[in-house]
Amino acid sequence: MSETVHNRIAVLRAERGVSRRQLADALGVHYQTVGYLERGEFRPSLHLALRIAAYFEVPVEVVFSIEPFPRIGDPSTAAGRTA
């Protein structure tokens, strides 16, 4: 069983126009920590994961998953959707 924790932090930051430094300042962590999180080099504590989700005003499972997130624009993820 893999210990990898996947996340969408970079996607959420980009959607909202938030820099790593801005997110780090809001969370009270070093901006490099945000980079480590985004690259999967660091797994957040439960407390930090919940704070990140709260910052983006989404459920924690929107930000973090133990399964890889589907790639944006992946045709296999669009099946069954209606326009």
**Count of domains in the chain?**
1
CATH of the domain at 19: 1.10.260.40
Say if 73 falls within a structural domain: no
Does residue 58 belong to any structural domain of this protein? yes
Residue 45 lies in a domain: yes
| Calpha distance 51→13 (Å, rounded) | 14
Range of the domain at 38: 6-64
Distance CA 49, CA 58 (A): 11
Per residue in 51-82, pLDDT (tens digit) is 999 999 999 999 999 888 887 675 665 444 44
pTM, rounded to two decimals: 0.80
The reply to whether 70 falls in a domain is no
| pLDDT, tens only, 4-30 | 889 999 999 999 999 999 999 999 999
- Does 24 reside within a domain? yes
Q: Is 47 helix (H, G, I), strand (E, B) or coil?
A: helix
